[in-house]
C-alpha cells in the first residue's frame, strides 16, 4: 500500500474523529506540504504521554463574543459593517432613525430656555420686593420712634406694620417663584441630557477592537429594543478551552505556562498561560476526547493566548479551530524539545 493511499486513509480517519479542522488542512497545500503536515500530525498522535508534570487535552480555540444591540427600538438607516470586517473601538457599526428623539430634544432645550427666563424674571422681582421691604422697614422704624415720642397715632403705626408684612410676603412669594424656576431648569436640563443620551445611543459603535462574526440585521429593518445587530469577536481575548481530570486540574495554578498546537498547523507551538480553572466539575463533553475515557468528571480550563501575540498574528486568528493544549502541572517541570515555542515568521 503506497504512502499516498495510506495518507488518504489516515486523513479520512482523522476527519471522522474530528481531529482535523477541515479538509483544507491537506488539500490547500502542495503534495510535499500535505505529506509533511500529515506525518507531523501522525507522529504527534502516536506519541506516548507527555513528559512528567505536563498534562494535555484536546480543545478548540474560542474568543470572547460581544453582542452589539440596539438600546431603543427604531428603523435602521444604515448598517456599516460586513461579516469578517475588523473594527476599532468606537467605530460606527449601525445608525437608527433618531428623528423623533431629536424633535423631543429640541422641545426639551426650549423648556430649559423658558425656565431660565422665568428664573431671571423671578430674580428681578426679588430685587424689587427686597427694595419694597427695606423701604417698609425704614418707615416702620420711623413710625415706632414717632409713636414713642407721642407724634404718631397707633392707627398710623399699625398701617406701617401692615405694609411691612405685605412687603415681606411679596418677597417670599418672589423667592418661591425663583426656586420653582430653578427646579424647572434642573428638570428640563435632565430631560435634555436623557434625550441626548438616547440620540447618541441611536448610533451603535464597536465597544472594542475586534472582528465582526455575525451581521444580524440589514439596512431598512425595524428592530426592537435589545435586538442584536452584530456579534463582535474580541481579538484580545482568545483562548483554548480544554477539560482535565481532577488529578491534573487540582495541581494547576493561574498563570501557569501552557502550550497550544493547532490541528491545521501542527508544526507550530503557541505559548499561552492558564487563565481559568472551573470551580465545579462537570461531565465530559461529547465533543472533547480525553486521555482517560474512564474519567467521568472533568474540570474546564482556559488557556489564554497573550494579547500582544494575538495582535501580531491577528489576521490568522480564527475561532472553532481544534488542537491540543498542554499545561504544566508541576512548577519544576521542563518543556520537552517538541513543545519548544515555534511561531510563523
Give the domain ranges of the chain. Answer: 1-47, 68-97+203-228, 99-201
Question: Which parts of the chain fold into alpha helices (H)?
Answer: 3-16, 24-27, 31-46, 99-148, 154-201, 246-249, 307-312
Indicate the CATH number of 99-201 among 1.10.287, 1.20.58, 1.10.10, 3.40.50. Answer: 1.20.58
Closest CA to 316 of 257, 280, 270, 247: 270
Q: Does pLDDT of 214 surpass 60?
A: yes
- Assign residue 292 a region: left if phi > 0, alpha if psi is -120 to 50, beta otherwise? beta
Q: What is the pLDDT of residue 19?
A: 35
Q: Does pLDDT of 64 surpass 80?
A: yes
Question: Which secondary-structure segment (H or E) carries 232?
Answer: strand 228-244
CATH class of the domain at 68-97+203-228: mainly beta
Q: What is the pLDDT of residues 297-330, one digit of tens each?
A: 788 999 999 988 888 888 888 888 999 999 988 8
51 vs 69 pLDDT, higher one: 69
Q: pLDDT confidence of 83, banded at 50, 70, 90?
A: very high
Q: What is the pLDDT of residues 147-178, one digit of tens each?
A: 788 777 888 878 888 988 888 898 889 889 98
Q: Could you give the CA distance from residue 57 to residue 336 in angstroms, rounded to a whole number?
A: 16
Q: What is the pLDDT of residues 216-266, one digit of tens each?
A: 999 999 999 999 999 999 988 899 999 988 888 888 888 888 999 999 989
Residues 12, 14, 19, 24, CA torsion sign: negative
Q: What is the pLDDT of residue 18?
A: 38
Phi, psi of 331 (to 5 degrees): -60, -35
Amino acid at each position: 500500500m503506497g504512502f499516498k493511499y495510506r495518507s488518504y486513509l489516515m486523513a479520512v480517519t482523522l476527519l471522522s474523529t474530528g481531529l482535523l479542522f477541515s479538509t483544507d488542512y491537506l488539500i490547500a497545500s502542495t503534495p510535499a506540504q500535505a505529506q509533511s503536515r500529515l506525518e507531523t500530525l501522525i507522529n504527534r498522535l502516536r506519541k506516548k504521554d507527555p513528559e512528567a508534570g505536563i498534562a494535555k487535552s484536546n480543545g478548540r480555540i474560542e474568543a470572547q463574543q460581544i453582542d452589539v444591540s440596539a438600546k431603543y427600538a427604531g428603523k435602521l438607516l444604515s448598517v456599516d459593517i460586513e461579516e469578517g470586517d475588523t473594527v476599532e473601538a468606537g467605530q460606527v457599526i449601525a445608525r437608527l432613525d433618531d428623528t423623533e428623539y431629536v424633535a423631543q430634544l429640541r422641545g426639551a432645550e426650549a423648556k430649559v430656555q423658558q425656565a431660565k427666563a422665568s428664573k431671571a424674571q423671578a430674580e428681578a422681582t426679588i430685587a424689587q420686593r427686597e427694595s419694597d421691604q427695606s423701604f417698609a422697614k425704614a418707615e416702620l422704624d420711623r413710625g415706632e420712634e414717632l409713636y414713642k415720642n407721642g407724634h404718631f397715632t397707633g392707627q398710623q403705626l399699625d398701617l406701617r406694620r401692615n405694609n411691612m408684612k405685605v412687603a415681606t410676603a411679596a418677597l417670599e412669594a418672589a423667592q418661591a417663584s425663583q426656586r420653582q424656576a430653578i427646579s424647572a431648569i434642573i428638570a428640563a436640563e435632565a430631560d435634555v441630557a436623557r434625550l441626548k443620551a438616547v440620540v447618541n445611543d441611536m448610533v451603535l459603535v464597536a465597544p472594542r477592537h475586534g472582528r465582526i462574526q455575525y451581521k444580524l440585521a440589514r439596512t431598512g429593518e425595524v428592530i426592537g429594543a435589545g435586538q442584536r445587530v452584530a456579534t463582535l469577536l474580541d481579538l484580545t481575548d482568545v483562548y483554548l478551552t480544554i477539560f482535565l481530570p481532577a488529578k491534573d486540574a487540582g495541581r494547576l495554578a493561574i498563570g501557569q505556562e501552557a502550550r497550544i498546537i493547532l490541528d491545521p498547523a501542527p508544526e507550530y507551538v503557541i505559548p499561552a498561560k492558564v487563565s481559568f480553572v472551573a470551580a465545579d466539575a462537570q461531565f465530559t463533553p461529547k465533543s472533547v476526547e480525553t486521555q482517560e475515557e474512564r474519567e467521568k468528571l472533568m474540570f474546564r480550563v482556559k488557556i489564554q493566548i497573550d494579547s500582544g501575540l494575538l495582535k501580531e498574528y491577528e489576521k490568522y486568528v480564527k475561532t472553532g479551530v481544534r488542537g491540543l493544549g498542554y499545561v504544566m502541572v508541576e512548577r519544576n517541570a521542563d518543556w520537552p524539545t517538541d513543545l519548544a515555542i515555534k511561531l510563523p515568521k
